[in-house]
Structure 1
Amino acid sequence: MGVTAPNGLGTEQYWRAVLDRHSGIREMTRFDASRYPYRLAGQITDFAAEDHLPAKLLPQTDVSTRLALTAADWAFADAGIEPGTVDDDRMGVVTSNATGGFAFTHGEFRKLWRQGGEYVSVYESFAWFYAVNTGQISIRNGLRGPGAALVAEQAGGLDALGHACRSVRAGTELLISGGVDSALDPWGFISQFAGGRVSVEPDPRRAFLPFDAAASGYVPGEGGALLVIESEEAARRRRAPRIHGEIAGYAATFDPPPGSGRPPALRQAAERAIAQAGLRPDDIGVVFADASGVPELDRAEAAAIRDLFGPQGVPVTAPKALTGRLYAGGGPLDVVTAVLCLRDGVIPPTAHTTEVPGSYQLDLVLEEPRELSSPTALVLARGRHGFNSAVVVRA
């Protein structure tokens, strides 16, 4: 597993930050945001790409791709894999991306407008593209097996992991999969606000309050996680130094159109993922919620969890309150967090939220970590316009 998150670079640093409730949400420092309607973001402030990547890659990569390449390097190192040690035709890559290379493209557009087309980088032809992380990871590591790029906003990262699992079952030896996003340049920042769900609360401790009575939207962030996915047999055959956990089930659904009178389909995704894992709802020890921070969306998710598990039927947590919503990076980061939760037997709390409406009937873990009762977790994610994904992780 490889993590690049606003509150921690590297898996263990991130996990310590989660348990200590150390937040990466702060006032924007990457540019002057004083005239913007909101100024908070989950920023990665301690990452210097030149410390992690070859100089030749820097002119051709966006922030999101630099973070993805670094997370991939860390994931391969964690898995004990060096390029060339596994047949490259049997190693693939599947990533998700929701925002593209915003900062790179914004810079090139400025050149186009101010200087002329001859000053625009040739790398603009691919550095902005949703598939660029898959391509750059493949090239850097010589991966010639199956490759894919999925776009489903916040749900896309779980979809990438599900796709990787299907590829493994179809015979691919090993894949690296997950998602990373970044759009915290001036253009990307205002584009996110245009979606109508970003909180304008200026206090970092009050801006993103999942499932709280005072919830007013979310804070955007950057980063994500990449994971090495393989069959247990293949991992043991190559003597992998560690096996963190098992992706036991995955499912995706799509909401019916607004006004149809039909309910959202998040519960169906959760039920199908649990069934694919060969489990029942009462086997799940914790739910890592999508936790949008938008009141009507929180209400709908709380209802889906209540209807599936019963009132107060399962502990629920939302560590993304410390990072902001990372779009395609959010789901994979929650999967990593779930794996660490299972490893250490502790459920991290949901930071900042204090008052959960009684009508939600939600057992949200607050204030302090809680002991985990069952070594199985359900991770939920929803993407804008109706995407729903669910992953079951087992120790």
Structure 2
Amino acid sequence: MTARAVVTGVGVVAPSGVGADAHWATVLAGTRRIGPISLFDPTGYPTRLGGEVPDFDAAGYADGRQRVQTDRWTHLGFAATRLALADAGLPEQAPDPYGWAVTLASSSGGNLFGQRELQRLWGGPTRTVGAYQSIAWFYAASVGQLSIHHQFKGPCGVLVAESAGGLDSLAHAVRTIRRGTPVVIAGATECPLSPYALACQLRSGLLSDVADPERAYRPFDVGAAGYVPAEGGAVFVVEELRHALSRGARIYGEVTGWAATHDAAPTDPEAGPDPTHYARALRLALDRAGVRPHDVDVVWPDALGVPAHDRAEAAALRAVFGFRNPSVTTQKPLTGRAHQGGSALDAATALLAFRHDLLPASAGPEQPAEGCELNFLRAPRRPRSRIALVGARGFDGFNSALVLRGAAPPPPTAEGT
């Protein structure tokens, strides 16, 4: 039989809070956590808002040496991984190092660390950089550091597909489990909030310059004006089903289907991306999961917040689902867009929704834009089929889709909760 892969641990470090419980509370309350960027002075930039992890103290998750050698992006990865392991009931150190692996996604690496060192190189009297510059900024730094610290010596790797990478990491975890590794750490974190990183994003023309945090990021809305950058993400413990059952692990859900495609063509800035290959990724994921479109309970879309891109995504969803549209929900307007960490966070929200037996309402749109009239979930409701489709589109044409089947919710406690 083909090995089945289930999620047994969820670690969230995001603008919505540190820990899965804090994130879920923010999602249910619909609290917006976008605000002025504080990690550096954004004065002079047209975009001055971001989603930052509140009150994050890296000292609680990484020792002094690790903090000196690595970037905030990796500190967030340390935190999310430790939270995921604890949530899964697994030890900090792998008891079977070659049976545990880590595969994360990354977009741009250690931005704040690299910013500091390059400013010292070009602006300081010594004209030098520190010894750790060569590794701290590197997009594989988090995977390497986690592998060393937790003794994950199985097949390890890093995936680079911008926002699509957060879903690709979970798909790769399933493949790794089917090849014989019983425990894989997957997911993604991000920290794109530095002067250089913000300048790079501004060059795309996709960032929102709206000054009001309540209205800056409005995907699928008539007022959509671009996305707001954010840090953070989510990390998962993915296990082979029999391995999880043998130790009595709590199971959030199963990864049953996935797909990745590429547009293979430049994006027209006026018309937006061609929805054809994104729709193909969605269909392939459903086919591989053995799921018919009308069986899908809920969709978490990419929700970029750029009008042309939103219309293209809506067109792709209509191409897959026709007139039997499932519920659509997104919480990115609450947190900002954390690139690959954002798609991992969407997957975490889906699994938490099934765990709590409640699909969360979408954080918008208030008024869908023309061409974006989807079946947005306006109020929380209980799941029906317990099947979620999560979609993500990475810049330069990457498309990924993931099908999650939620486990049955836990029985009510004596207090009825």
TM-score (norm 1): 0.96
2:352 aligned with 1:344: no
2:323 aligned with 1:315: no
Q: Which amino acid letter does the alignment assign opposite residue 399 of structure 2?
A: N
Judge conservation of contact 1:311–1:362 (CA < 8 Å) in 2: no
Classify 1:263/1:332 alpha carbon distance in 2 versus 1 (closer, same or farther; 3 Å).
closer
Classify 1:262/1:15 alpha carbon distance in 2 versus 1 (closer, same or farther; 3 Å).
closer
Q: Which residue number corresponds to residue 411 of structure 2?
A: none
Mapped partners of 1:209, 1:222: distance in 2 = 18
* Structure 1 segment 169-318 matched on structure 2, within 5 A: 169-240=178-249, 242-258=250-266, 263-311=275-323, 313-318=325-330
1:25: Cα distance to partner? 0.5
Q: Which amino acid letter does the alignment assign opposite residue 376 of structure 1?
A: I
* Structure 1 segment 47-126 matched on structure 2, within 5 A: 47-84=56-93, 86-116=95-125, 119-126=128-135
Q: Which amino acid letter does the alignment assign opposite residue 255 of structure 2?
A: I
- The answer to which of 107-116 and 322-331 deviates more is 107-116
Q: Percent of aligned positions with the same letter in both sequences?
A: 42
- The answer to which of 44-53 and 252-261 deviates more is 252-261
Mapped partners of 2:101, 2:259: distance in 1 = 21
Give 5+ residue unaligned stretches, structure 1.
none
Mapped partners of 1:125, 1:262: distance in 2 = 38
Judge conservation of contact 2:34–2:49 (CA < 8 Å) in 1: yes
2:378 aligned with 1:370: no
1:84: Cα distance to partner? 4.5
Q: How many residues are paired up?
A: 393
1:348: Cα distance to partner? 1.6
Q: Which residue number corresponds to residue 6 of structure 2?
A: none
User: What is the CA deviation profile of residues 152-189 of structure 1, one whole-angstrom value per residue up to 9, with x for unaligned ones?
Assistant: 00001111111111000111111101111102122222
* Counterpart secondary structure, 1:95: strand
Classify 1:237/1:298 alpha carbon distance in 2 versus 1 (closer, same or farther; 3 Å).
same
* Counterpart secondary structure, 1:359: coil
User: What is the CA deviation profile of residues 357-388 of structure 1, one whole-angstrom value per residue up to 9, with x for unaligned ones?
Assistant: 3533310123x323333211000000001100
Q: 39, 43, 46: which one pairs with 2:52?
A: 43
2:402 aligned with 1:394: no
RMSD of Structure 2 on Structure 1 (CA): 1.7
Q: Which residue number corresponds to residue 27 of structure 2?
A: 18
User: What is the CA deviation profile of residues 109-130 of structure 1, one whole-angstrom value per residue up to 9, with x for unaligned ones?
Assistant: 1111233567421111110011
Judge conservation of contact 2:294–2:324 (CA < 8 Å) in 1: no
Q: Which residue number corresponds to residue 391 of structure 2?
A: 380
Q: Which amino acid letter does the alignment assign opposite residue 53 of structure 2?
A: I
Classify 1:236/1:297 alpha carbon distance in 2 versus 1 (closer, same or farther; 3 Å).
same
Mapped partners of 1:54, 1:262: distance in 2 = 46
Mapped partners of 1:263, 1:55: distance in 2 = 47
Mapped partners of 1:258, 1:112: distance in 2 = 35
User: What is the CA deviation profile of residues 216-269 of structure 1, one whole-angstrom value per residue up to 9, with x for unaligned ones?
Assistant: 1000000000001111111112332x1111111111111131489975311111
1:333: Cα distance to partner? 0.7
Give 5+ residue unaligned stretches, structure 2.
1-9, 407-417
* Counterpart secondary structure, 1:188: helix
TM-score (norm 2): 0.91
1:50: Cα distance to partner? 1.3
Q: Which amino acid letter does the alignment assign opposite residue 385 of structure 2?
A: S
* Counterpart secondary structure, 2:276: coil
Classify 1:205/1:263 alpha carbon distance in 2 versus 1 (closer, same or farther; 3 Å).
closer
